Amino acid sequence: MDYEIMMNGNVQIGEKAPKFEADSTMGKVSLEDYAGKWLVFFSHPGDFTPVCTTEIIAFSKASPHFGKLHTNLLGLSVDSNSSHLAWLYDIYCKTGVRVSFPIISDRNGEIARKYGMMANSISKTETVRNVYIIDGEGVVRVILIYPMNIGRCIPEILRILEALQTAEKNGASTPANWVPEQPVIIPSPKIFSELLERPKENSWYLQYQNPQKEIK
C-alpha cells in the first residue's frame, strides 16, 4: 500500500476497517475485541474542550440505547491516557456521568491517520469529529465527518444505526427521513413476472412494507 495513502486514510464504505491495538481508559483494546458486534468508533479533537465534553456526556447518556442495538462505543483522540482519565474524572465529579466506554490514546496519530481522522488542511495534530459505524464482520458501513466546531447529533447516529440494521434484516431500504418502525422500501422487481405482481395503484418501482421489529 502507498505510504501516503496509509498515513492519510483511505477508509471507504464497504471495506474492512483497519486493524489496531492501543491503550485506552479501560486498558488495551483492539478492533478484534469487537468481532461479531456493531461498533461506533469516533474521534474528538481534544480533552477538556467544551464541544467534546458535551459529546462525551451525550454518548454516555445514550449508551443504553446503543446497547439495545447490540452496539459498542469507542472513542479516540491524540491526547494521553492520563489526560483522558483526568478529563473523564472531571466529568464525573461535575455531572455524575460515568463514561462506560473506552477512549483510545493515539499519541502518535497512527490510528487516526489510518482512518483518515485528521484533516491536514485544518490541523496536523488534532482529529476532526469522525464517526465510523462498523458491523459485526468488521466492515465499515457509514462514515460521518463533522468539523471541530460542530457537535455531533447522537440521535441521528442512533437513527442511522437502526436504519442499517432494519434494512439488513428486511432485505430492504429506508426512505428519506425514515425513523424506526416506519415502513421500509422493498426491492424493485428484477423480472417482468414480478413486476406484474405489484399492485397497479402503486408505482412498480416503489413499494413499502412494514418492517420486522426484532433486530439481532
CA atoms of 61 and 65, how far apart (whole Å): 9
| 98 occurs within a structural domain | yes
Q: Check residue 207 and report its DSSP letter.
A: -
143 and 214 assigned to the same domain: no
Average pLDDT over residues 167-181: 95
Q: How many CB atoms lie within 10 A of CB 18?
A: 19
Q: Check residue 210 and report its DSSP letter.
A: P
Helices (H), the chain: 3-8, 50-68, 81-95, 110-115, 154-170, 192-197
| 160 occurs within a structural domain | no
199 and 104 assigned to the same domain: no
Query: Among all chains, which residue has been given the C-alpha cell 412494514?
Result: 210
95 and 189 assigned to the same domain: no
Q: How many CB atoms lie within 10 A of CB 36?
A: 9
| 40 occurs within a structural domain | yes
147 and 176 assigned to the same domain: no
The answer to whether 88 and 99 are in contact (CB under 8 A) is: yes
145 and 175 assigned to the same domain: no
| 159 occurs within a structural domain | no
Would you state the pLDDT for residue 119?
67
Would you state the pLDDT for residue 194?
80
64 and 122 assigned to the same domain: yes
125 and 39 assigned to the same domain: yes
The answer to whether 25 and 102 are in contact (CB under 8 A) is: yes
Helix axes 50-68, 154-170, angle to 10 degrees: 30
| 42 occurs within a structural domain | yes
63 and 147 assigned to the same domain: yes
Helix axes 50-68, 81-95, angle to 10 degrees: 80
67 and 113 assigned to the same domain: yes
pLDDT band at 200 (very low <50, low <70, confident <90, very high): confident
Would you state the pLDDT for residue 2?
38
List, for residues 84-133, the tens digit of each pLDDT value: 999 999 999 999 999 999 999 999 999 998 998 876 656 555 677 999 99
| 158 occurs within a structural domain | no
**Pick from 18, 16, 43: nearest CA to 106:** 43
140-146 and 129-134 beta bridge pairing:
antiparallel
Would you state the pLDDT for residue 5?
41
| 37 occurs within a structural domain | yes
187 and 105 assigned to the same domain: no
The answer to whether 115 and 130 are in contact (CB under 8 A) is: yes
38-43 and 71-77 beta bridge pairing:
parallel
- Reading the block at residue 2, the C-alpha cell is 502507498
Percent of the chain whose pLDDT exceeds 70:
90
Would you state the pLDDT for residue 120?
64
| 163 occurs within a structural domain | no
State which residues form the domain around 95: 3-152
Of 27-31, 109-113, 201-205, the range with the lowest mean pLDDT is 201-205
87 and 192 assigned to the same domain: no
Q: Which of 40, 52, 99, 164 is catalytic?
A: 52
Active-site residue flag, 52: yes
CATH number at residue 55: 3.40.30.10
The values of phi and psi at residue 150, to 5°, are -120, 120
59 and 140 assigned to the same domain: yes
How many structural domains does the chain have?
A: 2
